[in-house]
Structure 1
Protein backbone atom coordinates (compact mmCIF):
# COMPACT_ATOMS: atom_id res chain seq x y z
CA UNK A 1 0.00 0.00 0.00
CA UNK A 2 1.06 3.63 -0.30
CA UNK A 3 1.13 3.82 3.49
CA UNK A 4 3.48 0.82 3.70
CA UNK A 5 5.78 2.49 1.17
CA UNK A 6 5.82 5.68 3.27
CA UNK A 7 6.58 3.67 6.42
CA UNK A 8 9.48 1.89 4.70
CA UNK A 9 10.94 5.22 3.61
CA UNK A 10 11.16 6.11 7.29
CA UNK A 11 10.65 9.18 9.44
CA UNK A 12 13.65 10.99 7.97
CA UNK A 13 12.14 10.93 4.48
CA UNK A 14 10.87 14.15 2.94
CA UNK A 15 8.59 12.28 0.54
CA UNK A 16 4.95 13.37 0.69
CA UNK A 17 2.07 10.89 0.36
CA UNK A 18 0.91 12.80 -2.73
CA UNK A 19 4.28 12.05 -4.35
CA UNK A 20 3.93 8.36 -3.53
CA UNK A 21 0.40 8.25 -4.99
CA UNK A 22 1.49 10.11 -8.17
CA UNK A 23 4.43 7.75 -8.62
CA UNK A 24 2.22 4.69 -8.13
CA UNK A 25 -0.29 6.11 -10.63
CA UNK A 26 2.48 6.64 -13.19
CA UNK A 27 3.84 3.11 -12.64
CA UNK A 28 0.31 1.74 -13.07
CA UNK A 29 -0.19 3.74 -16.29
CA UNK A 30 3.08 2.33 -17.65
CA UNK A 31 2.00 -1.22 -16.75
CA UNK A 32 4.84 -1.67 -14.25
CA UNK A 33 2.58 -2.13 -11.21
CA UNK A 34 -0.95 -3.45 -10.87
CA UNK A 35 -3.42 -1.91 -8.43
CA UNK A 36 -5.91 -4.08 -6.57
CA UNK A 37 -8.76 -2.77 -4.44
CA UNK A 38 -10.48 -5.29 -2.22
CA UNK A 39 -14.24 -5.48 -1.74
CA UNK A 40 -15.44 -3.29 1.10
CA UNK A 41 -12.14 -1.42 1.33
CA UNK A 42 -10.90 1.91 0.07
CA UNK A 43 -7.28 0.76 0.44
CA UNK A 44 -5.42 0.03 -2.80
CA UNK A 45 -2.70 -2.59 -2.91
CA UNK A 46 0.09 -2.47 -5.49
CA UNK A 47 2.37 -5.17 -6.83
CA UNK A 48 4.82 -5.54 -9.67
CA UNK A 49 2.68 -6.50 -12.65
CA UNK A 50 2.70 -10.29 -13.01
CA UNK A 51 2.92 -11.86 -16.46
CA UNK A 52 -0.63 -13.15 -16.06
CA UNK A 53 -3.59 -11.81 -14.13
CA UNK A 54 -3.89 -12.88 -10.53
CA UNK A 55 -6.69 -13.56 -8.08
CA UNK A 56 -6.59 -13.54 -4.27
CA UNK A 57 -8.09 -15.21 -1.24
CA UNK A 58 -8.44 -12.52 1.44
CA UNK A 59 -8.70 -13.11 5.19
CA UNK A 60 -11.66 -11.15 6.52
CA UNK A 61 -10.06 -11.07 9.97
CA UNK A 62 -6.48 -9.83 9.40
CA UNK A 63 -6.57 -8.83 5.72
CA UNK A 64 -3.87 -11.29 4.63
CA UNK A 65 -3.87 -11.76 0.86
CA UNK A 66 -3.07 -15.20 -0.55
CA UNK A 67 -2.35 -15.11 -4.29
CA UNK A 68 -3.84 -17.87 -6.43
CA UNK A 69 -1.37 -19.03 -9.06
CA UNK A 70 -4.07 -20.40 -11.32
CA UNK A 71 -7.28 -18.78 -12.50
CA UNK A 72 -10.38 -20.59 -11.21
CA UNK A 73 -12.47 -19.02 -14.00
CA UNK A 74 -11.78 -21.62 -16.68
CA UNK A 75 -14.48 -20.41 -19.05
CA UNK A 76 -16.98 -17.60 -19.06
CA UNK A 77 -20.68 -18.38 -18.49
CA UNK A 78 -22.61 -19.27 -21.64
CA UNK A 79 -25.13 -16.50 -20.86
CA UNK A 80 -22.45 -13.93 -21.69
CA UNK A 81 -21.68 -15.32 -25.11
CA UNK A 82 -25.39 -15.76 -25.85
CA UNK A 83 -25.90 -12.08 -25.00
CA UNK A 84 -23.08 -11.13 -27.37
CA UNK A 85 -20.95 -9.90 -24.46
CA UNK A 86 -17.17 -9.84 -24.94
CA UNK A 87 -15.18 -10.24 -21.74
CA UNK A 88 -12.08 -8.05 -21.69
CA UNK A 89 -11.02 -8.74 -18.10
CA UNK A 90 -12.33 -10.19 -14.86
CA UNK A 91 -11.61 -9.96 -11.13
CA UNK A 92 -12.19 -12.63 -8.53
CA UNK A 93 -11.83 -12.27 -4.78
CA UNK A 94 -12.39 -15.12 -2.36
CA UNK A 95 -13.10 -14.14 1.25
CA UNK A 96 -12.53 -16.34 4.29
CA UNK A 97 -10.37 -16.86 7.38
CA UNK A 98 -6.64 -17.60 7.07
CA UNK A 99 -4.97 -20.43 8.97
CA UNK A 100 -3.28 -18.05 11.45
CA UNK A 101 -6.58 -16.35 12.41
CA UNK A 102 -8.44 -19.66 12.53
CA UNK A 103 -5.87 -21.04 14.97
CA UNK A 104 -6.30 -18.00 17.25
CA UNK A 105 -9.98 -18.83 17.82
Structure 2
Protein backbone atom coordinates (compact mmCIF):
# COMPACT_ATOMS: atom_id res chain seq x y z
CA UNK A 1 0.00 0.00 0.00
CA UNK A 2 1.43 3.40 -1.00
CA UNK A 3 1.76 6.35 1.38
CA UNK A 4 -1.05 8.18 -0.43
CA UNK A 5 -3.32 5.12 -0.06
CA UNK A 6 -2.54 4.99 3.68
CA UNK A 7 -3.54 8.65 3.99
CA UNK A 8 -6.63 8.08 1.86
CA UNK A 9 -7.70 5.31 4.24
CA UNK A 10 -7.04 7.55 7.23
CA UNK A 11 -9.28 10.23 5.72
CA UNK A 12 -12.01 7.68 4.92
CA UNK A 13 -11.92 6.35 8.50
CA UNK A 14 -12.68 9.89 9.67
CA UNK A 15 -15.48 10.30 7.10
CA UNK A 16 -13.60 12.38 4.49
CA UNK A 17 -13.16 11.80 0.76
CA UNK A 18 -9.88 12.23 -1.10
CA UNK A 19 -10.86 15.21 -3.25
CA UNK A 20 -8.65 16.49 -6.05
CA UNK A 21 -7.61 19.44 -3.87
CA UNK A 22 -6.75 17.21 -0.88
CA UNK A 23 -4.80 14.90 -3.14
CA UNK A 24 -2.85 17.88 -4.56
CA UNK A 25 -2.14 19.23 -1.06
CA UNK A 26 -0.92 15.80 0.09
CA UNK A 27 1.28 15.48 -3.01
CA UNK A 28 2.84 18.88 -2.25
CA UNK A 29 3.51 17.81 1.33
CA UNK A 30 5.08 14.53 0.14
CA UNK A 31 7.28 16.42 -2.33
CA UNK A 32 8.42 18.74 0.48
CA UNK A 33 8.76 16.03 3.15
CA UNK A 34 11.22 17.06 5.86
CA UNK A 35 10.40 20.76 5.46
CA UNK A 36 7.84 22.94 7.15
CA UNK A 37 5.70 24.98 4.75
CA UNK A 38 3.40 27.92 5.35
CA UNK A 39 -0.22 27.72 4.19
CA UNK A 40 0.73 30.21 1.46
CA UNK A 41 3.62 27.98 0.27
CA UNK A 42 1.24 25.02 0.12
CA UNK A 43 -1.38 27.11 -1.71
CA UNK A 44 1.09 28.25 -4.38
CA UNK A 45 2.43 24.73 -4.98
CA UNK A 46 -1.08 23.21 -4.92
CA UNK A 47 -2.31 25.68 -7.58
CA UNK A 48 0.45 24.39 -9.87
CA UNK A 49 -1.17 20.94 -9.63
CA UNK A 50 -4.83 21.97 -9.41
CA UNK A 51 -5.38 25.48 -10.81
CA UNK A 52 -8.95 25.82 -9.46
CA UNK A 53 -7.79 25.67 -5.83
CA UNK A 54 -8.32 28.79 -3.73
CA UNK A 55 -6.60 29.74 -0.48
CA UNK A 56 -9.63 29.15 1.74
CA UNK A 57 -9.91 25.59 0.38
CA UNK A 58 -6.25 24.94 1.19
CA UNK A 59 -6.64 26.39 4.67
CA UNK A 60 -9.79 24.35 5.43
CA UNK A 61 -8.09 21.20 4.19
CA UNK A 62 -4.98 21.87 6.27
CA UNK A 63 -7.24 21.98 9.34
CA UNK A 64 -8.81 18.65 8.33
CA UNK A 65 -5.40 17.06 7.68
CA UNK A 66 -4.18 18.29 11.06
CA UNK A 67 -7.29 17.00 12.87
CA UNK A 68 -6.80 13.57 11.29
CA UNK A 69 -3.11 13.43 12.28
CA UNK A 70 -1.83 13.52 8.70
CA UNK A 71 0.09 16.76 9.20
CA UNK A 72 1.67 18.63 12.11
CA UNK A 73 1.14 22.33 12.77
CA UNK A 74 4.05 24.18 14.34
CA UNK A 75 4.64 27.84 15.16
CA UNK A 76 8.11 28.97 14.06
CA UNK A 77 7.65 32.35 15.69
CA UNK A 78 4.77 34.31 17.15
CA UNK A 79 3.00 34.80 13.83
CA UNK A 80 4.12 32.04 11.44
CA UNK A 81 2.26 28.74 11.42
CA UNK A 82 3.89 26.03 9.33
CA UNK A 83 2.87 22.52 8.36
CA UNK A 84 4.68 19.24 7.78
CA UNK A 85 3.55 15.80 6.76
CA UNK A 86 3.39 13.63 9.88
CA UNK A 87 5.73 10.66 9.98
CA UNK A 88 3.47 7.67 10.52
CA UNK A 89 6.37 5.23 10.88
CA UNK A 90 7.80 6.41 14.17
CA UNK A 91 7.46 8.71 17.14
CA UNK A 92 9.97 11.52 16.75
CA UNK A 93 10.73 15.14 17.47
CA UNK A 94 12.38 17.93 15.46
CA UNK A 95 15.13 20.48 15.25
CA UNK A 96 13.91 23.33 13.04
CA UNK A 97 15.82 26.07 11.23
CA UNK A 98 14.16 29.48 11.74
CA UNK A 99 15.80 30.72 8.54
CA UNK A 100 14.90 28.23 5.82
CA UNK A 101 12.45 25.92 7.61
CA UNK A 102 14.62 22.82 7.19
CA UNK A 103 13.79 20.17 9.76
CA UNK A 104 15.53 17.09 11.03
CA UNK A 105 14.17 14.39 13.26
CA UNK A 106 15.56 13.70 16.71
CA UNK A 107 15.74 9.92 17.10
CA UNK A 108 15.06 9.81 20.83
CA UNK A 109 12.31 11.09 23.09
CA UNK A 110 13.55 13.51 25.75
CA UNK A 111 10.19 13.32 27.53
CA UNK A 112 10.24 9.65 28.57
CA UNK A 113 11.55 10.50 32.03
CA UNK A 114 8.93 13.22 32.43
CA UNK A 115 6.18 10.77 31.50
CA UNK A 116 7.31 8.44 34.29
CA UNK A 117 7.13 11.32 36.76
CA UNK A 118 3.67 12.31 35.49
CA UNK A 119 2.41 8.75 35.96
CA UNK A 120 3.47 9.05 39.60
CA UNK A 121 1.22 12.14 39.82
CA UNK A 122 -1.86 10.22 38.62
CA UNK A 123 -1.70 11.92 35.22
CA UNK A 124 -1.66 10.08 31.89
CA UNK A 125 0.11 11.91 29.09
CA UNK A 126 -1.64 11.23 25.78
CA UNK A 127 0.39 13.33 23.35
CA UNK A 128 3.29 15.77 23.14
CA UNK A 129 5.55 17.69 20.77
CA UNK A 130 9.19 18.54 21.34
CA UNK A 131 10.78 21.04 18.96
CA UNK A 132 14.12 22.82 19.12
CA UNK A 133 14.61 26.01 17.10
CA UNK A 134 17.78 27.55 15.75
CA UNK A 135 19.66 28.04 12.48
CA UNK A 136 21.22 25.51 10.10
CA UNK A 137 24.84 26.16 9.07
CA UNK A 138 23.85 27.97 5.85
CA UNK A 139 21.34 30.29 7.55
CA UNK A 140 23.73 30.91 10.47
CA UNK A 141 26.33 32.22 8.00
CA UNK A 142 23.74 34.57 6.48
CA UNK A 143 22.63 35.85 9.91
CA UNK A 144 26.21 36.62 10.97
CA UNK A 145 26.77 38.95 8.00
Task: Give the TM-score normalised by structure 1.
Answer: 0.73
Which residue in the other structure is 1:93 paired with?
131
Q: Deviations over 1:63-95 (max 9, x none)?
A: 423221513326232431221111111111112
Structure 2: give runs of 5+ residues left out of the alignment: 1-37
- Contact residue 75 and residue 81 of structure 2 kept, 8 A: yes
Which residue in the other structure is 1:22 paired with?
60
Which has the larger share of helix?
A: 2
Q: Is the partner of 2:140 in helix, strand or coil?
A: helix
Higher relative contact order structure (alpha carbons within 8 Å, sequence separation ≥ 6): 1
Structure 1 residue runs of 4+, over 4 Å off?
Answer: none
Which residue in the other structure is 1:68 paired with?
105
Structure 1: give runs of 5+ residues left out of the alignment: none
Which residue in the other structure is 1:45 paired with?
83
Q: 1:49–1:29: structure 2 CA closer, same or farther, 3 Å change rule?
A: farther
Q: CA deviation at 1:20?
A: 0.9
Which residue in the other structure is 1:58 paired with?
96
What is the aligned-residue RMSD (CA, Å)? Answer: 2.6
Task: Give the TM-score normalised by structure 2.
Answer: 0.56
Mapped pair 1:2 → 2:39? yes
Residue correspondences, number: 102
Q: CA deviation at 1:45?
A: 0.8
